[in-house]
Amino acid sequence: MIKNIKALFITSSMVNVDKSYETLLSRIQGDLVNASKKDSARLEIPKPQIIWVGQRTIFRNFMEFPKALRREPEKLLLYLNKELASAGYIAGERVIFLGRKEPSSFGALMERYVQDYVICPVCQSPDTRTEKAKKLGFLVCEACGARSSIKGNYA
């Protein structure tokens, strides 16, 4: 780390002799702070890939979601089935629903699931896990430590 800053300083001072070590150092530190803030707040929600095959709706990249959100695939599927009034099933990386489901509804459903089952309501961090106690679901935040109750049944 210190080595890197020195190396940057030397390179930079060769280009611009007016730049003081302090100015450069504070700029580097500022960049580091910004970078780590961005990383912790970011949750990459994949874009659902939905296609129709005959009278079926295939959610091609379903398995990316439980991985990204760190939730059980079965729970997420139960949620989708209830919201879509369907009986979709997992087939490899995909989920197959009977009937033609509106492709745009999947993105909205996933966003709602993230809001209700993943994001900490106290600090908005996505770094959470779920817990069950006496049949009630709780969201435990790994960032701020808050333990919040979950309203729905698909935690």
Task: Using CB under 5 A, list all residues that contact Zn ion.
Answer: 120, 122-123, 125, 141, 143-144, 146
Q: Are 81 and 48 in contact (CB under 8 A)?
A: no
DSSP string spanning 97-122?
Answer: EES---HHHHHHHHHHHHHHHTS-TT
Between 90 and 146, CB nearer to Zn ion? 146
- C-alpha span between 31 and 20 (Å, rounded): 17
Pick 58 or 119: Cβ nearer Zn ion? 119
Output 95 or 141, the one with its CB closest to Zn ion: 141
Q: How far is the CB of 128 from Zn ion (least distance, A)?
A: 7
Residue 50 corresponds to which amino acid? I
Taking the complex as a whole, the smallest distance from the CB of residue 95 to Zn ion amounts, in Å, to: 30
Question: Between β-strands 147-149 and 136-141, what pairing exists: parallel, antiparallel or unpaired?
Answer: antiparallel
Residue 99 has φ and ψ, to the nearest 5°, of: 90, 165
Residue 115 beta carbon to Zn ion: minimum distance, rounded to whole angstroms = 14
CB nearer to Zn ion: give 62 or 117.
Answer: 117
Q: Shortest gap between Cβ of 122 and Zn ion (angstroms)? A: 4
